[in-house]
Chain A
């Protein structure tokens, strides 16, 4: 079946280094992807999104890259800070019926920043 998955469940990085979180997707028809950050005890928070007609999108300290050839999505965080420690989820939008859409989430990657 269709799925969104993550390569690594945990990632530890040194403060100030760049972080890269990866995500593989299998639905080639997906046209929209989102990255979320979830801090302990809180709901997921939107970070950045990208549509399938783009390869790259940049935000503040974050960049999302989309490689449709290999169905791969990545989130890059520049100059990682302790406040970036959280679980990160990728999600893809998929059609689930006539005029109906769902978001399917990956299982998440836990990012730990070492001071």
Chain B
């Protein structure tokens, strides 16, 4: 089954404790991205990757890191989480049609993060 998986689905942590949210897709997609979703603000892009070893900042990258060492995985790293990073996070992937993407994006189920 074609899918995007994220782990963990729920996480409660404390300020400053490093964490990683994993994302994996099995569709051989070139393009992957991370979004956060907050009430009234919709979906905002954090980071994206056009292909392996190529990452770019989205609209709200502060406080986050990513890496793309393999095509299927795109982990989101919070080196020192803060309460304002409490949010619902989504990973997404899509084909890129020769670098002109993203096109139809497939989203993961979401990770609800609470930072106290």
Contacts and interface: CB of A to CB of B under 8 A. Distances in A.
A66 B90 CA distance: 27
Interface stretch (B11-19, B36-44, B69-77): B36-44
Query: Which of the four size classes fits the interface of chain B?
Result: 20 to 34
A101 B41 contact: no
Interface of B: 4, 33, 35, 40-45, 48, 50, 56, 58-59, 90, 92, 99-110
24 contacts: A34-B104, A43-B90, A43-B92, A43-B108, A43-B109, A44-B43, A44-B107, A93-B102, A93-B103, A97-B56, A101-B100, A101-B101, A101-B102, A102-B33, A102-B45, A103-B105, A104-B45, A104-B59, A105-B42, A105-B43, A105-B44, A107-B40, A107-B41, A108-B42
